[in-house]
Amino acid sequence: MAMEKNRVFSLLIVLVLWFMISGKFLQTAESLTVGINYGQIANNLPSPTRVAGLVSSLNISKVKLYDADPNVLRAFLNSQVEFVIGIGNENVANMTDYSKALSWVQNHIQPYLPRTRITCVTVGNEVYSGNDTTLKSNLLPAMQSIYAALVALGLNKQVNVTTAHSVAILGNSYPPSAGSFRSDVAEFIQPLLNFHAMANSPFLINVYPFFAYKDNPDSISLDYVLFRPNSGITDPNTNLNYDNMLYAQVDSVYSAISTMGHQNIDVRISETGWPSRGDPDEVGATPENAAMYNGNLLQRIAMQQGTPLKPSVPIQVYVFALFNENLKPGPTSERNYGLYYPDGNPVYNIGLNGRLPSMSSSASNPLTLLPELVLFMLVIVTLFWQL
Ligand SMILES: *[C@@H]1O[C@H](CO)[C@@H](O)[C@H](O)[C@H]1NC(C)=O
Ligand SMILES: *[C@@H]1O[C@H](CO)[C@@H](O)[C@H](O)[C@H]1NC(C)=O
Ligand SMILES: *[C@@H]1O[C@H](CO)[C@@H](O)[C@H](O)[C@H]1NC(C)=O
Ligand SMILES: *[C@@H]1O[C@H](CO)[C@@H](O)[C@H](O)[C@H]1NC(C)=O
């Protein structure tokens, strides 16, 4: 009888230990659903291994790169972070050649799967709002060869193929229900949308209400762009009320896409953010406004809000950016979009208390799993002790 009791008791211990272990793993799965852009146009950023530690301390589960930096992809091996990787505009022409596209996928995606979760590749950035006509005509063929390469390797269900646009491709964005593409862009967009529908990949846009505000600070309400309480703007065609510009712009894109005959293409925000510093003529670029914009945006993401047009589709956002990037050209604001300074200090406080590991430690340090290992050993020992 004493033997029986002992057995029941240790079974209980095993169960409790098991729940403690699995509970720990469940917790890490409960990460923020916000994504972050990890731009690297800088000469003072911490090593990718330390950045992996920072990202994990922030509980951020999605990272977007502008390239396919092997040092970054290796640093995040086994991290559960989902990656969007990029093919730069300078490499788009090459990718129109299927054999080059195939070897790109074989060299930059395949080796990391499945241990680094690459779920999307963006081919080119803001191509249709630029001036390079060759690049514009090469974009879709490049996307098609990358897609064909993924199909050939059996990876097209795991990895989406898309490109990121500036909202400058919209000719009209107000009211949102009247959103439409610029006429010079429409000829490219129609076949692109057909591609998205065929490949089931999302339409990505970079949206910066800051630009609109900076250009018209007298006529655009700061509350409306910073997600602060305001009466909003009502779309006269739909009667939908918009309390912020970001959602209005996303819905303009949905309307523009719908005008071209597509109802089932997801729109996602590949970049949005607010600079903490700017030149004297860049009105609104302050740490207070940046904290307000990004902080309020995070709250809305946490609430899984959709836009007024698609209330049941939570907005999917990659915030720009993780770090200030000191080598970005252009106005001062361009170098000041980061949530973090390169030394790991937050630029402003929005309640994200991440920590950049020191030089000597690293995120993938196996010692971080020590408690789990000890518990696991205990379980095994208890089991054997009974047999
Ligand atoms: C990350 O998640 C852990 C466990 O849920 C929590 O204790 C921690 O505060 C979170 N960190 C951030 C920056 O949200
Ligand atoms: C494009 O391909 C050519 C020939 O293979 C190569 O020399 C060049 O470096 C490639 N360009 C880029 C940007 O990768
Ligand atoms: C394209 O060219 C126009 C006129 O030359 C110029 O105003 C505009 O800034 C250019 N756009 C880009 C993205 O270079
Ligand atoms: C690819 O995009 C589609 C459409 O947005 C989405 O439903 C799917 O989950 C994405 N696939 C991956 C692997 O992220």
Q: Residue with the nearest Cα to atom 12 of ligand 3?
A: 130
Ligand nearest to the CA of 99: 2
Kindly calculate the radius of gyration of the chain based on its CA atoms and give it in whole angstroms: 24
What pLDDT score does 376 carry?
76
Residue 3's contacts (CB-CB under 8 Å, 6 or more residues apart) are none
- Give the residue with greater pLDDT, 322 vs 360: 322
How many of the other CB atoms lie within 10 Å of CB of 251?
Answer: 25
What pLDDT score does 385 carry?
77
Report d(CA 305, CA 182) in Å as an integer: 29
Closest Cα to residue 113, out of 73, 161, 54, 53?
A: 73
What pLDDT score does 7 carry?
67
Which tens digit of pLDDT belongs to each residue from 194-253?
Answer: 999 999 999 999 999 999 999 999 999 999 999 999 999 999 999 999 999 999 999 999
pTM score: 0.85
Looking at ligand 3, which atom is closest to the CA of residue 130?
A: 13
- On whether the CB atoms of residues 287 and 224 are closer than 8 A, the answer is no
Of all helices (H) and strands (E), which one includes residue 319? Answer: strand 317-319
Structure tokens at 212: 């609109």
| Percent of the chain topping pLDDT 90 | 81
Pocket of ligand 4 (CB under 6 A): 119-120, 158, 160, 200-202, 266
Q: With a cut of 80, say whether residue 12 has pLDDT above it.
A: no
- How do strand 32-37 and strand 60-64 relate by DSSP bridges? parallel
What pLDDT score does 200 carry?
98
Q: With a cut of 90, say whether residue 288 has pLDDT above it.
A: yes
| The residue type at 293 | Y
Looking at ligand 3, which atom is closest to the CA of residue 131?
A: 1
What pLDDT score does 369 carry?
59
| Catalytic residue chosen out of the listed positions 4, 82, 90, 271 | 271
Give the length of the chain. Answer: 387
Least confident of 74-88, 128-142, 298-312, 343-357: 343-357
What pLDDT score does 20 carry?
58
Ligand 4 centroid–CA 105 distance in Å is 18
Q: Is 126 a catalytic residue?
A: yes
Ligand 1 centroid–CA 57 distance in Å is 7
Residue 66's contacts (CB-CB under 8 Å, 6 or more residues apart) are 37, 39, 40, 86, 88, 125
- In DSSP notation, 147-198 reads HHHHHHTT-TTTSEEEEEEEGGGEEE-SSGGG-EE-HHHHHHHHHHHHHHHH
Ligand 2 centroid–CA 124 distance in Å is 15
- How do strand 233-234 and strand 241-242 relate by DSSP bridges? antiparallel
Ligand nearest to the CA of 113: 4
Pocket-testing residue among 125, 128, 131, ligand 3, by greatest number of atoms within 8 A of Cβ: 131
Cβ–ligand 1 distance for 59 under 6 Å, the answer: yes
Which tens digit of pLDDT belongs to each residue from 305-314?
Answer: 999 999 999 9
Ligand nearest to the CA of 30: 1
Backbone phi, psi, residue 139, to 5° = -60, -55
What pLDDT score does 377 carry?
81
Which tens digit of pLDDT belongs to each residue from 33-66?
Answer: 899 999 999 999 999 999 999 999 999 999 999 9
Q: Residue with the nearest Cα to atom 8 of ligand 2?
A: 94
What pLDDT score does 49 carry?
96
Q: Is 90 a catalytic residue?
A: no
The Cα-based distances of 346 to 228, 291, 294, 342 in angstroms read 22, 11, 13, 9
Q: What SS3 class is residue 65?
A: coil
Q: Residue with the nearest Cα to atom 2 of ligand 3?
A: 131
**Domains of the chain from N-terminus onward:** 2-26+33-386 (3.20.20.80)
| Sign of the dihedral through C-alpha 86, 92, 96, 97 | negative
Q: HEC states along 9-45? A: HHHHHHHHHHHHHHHHHHHHHCCEEEEEECCCCCCCC
What pLDDT score does 10 carry?
65
Report d(CA 31, CA 62) in Å as an integer: 10
What pLDDT score does 29 carry?
41
Of all helices (H) and strands (E), which one includes residue 70? Answer: helix 70-75
How many helical (H) and strand (E) elements, i.e. helices and strands, does the chain have? 12, 12
| Catalytic residue chosen out of the listed positions 4, 30, 82, 126 | 126
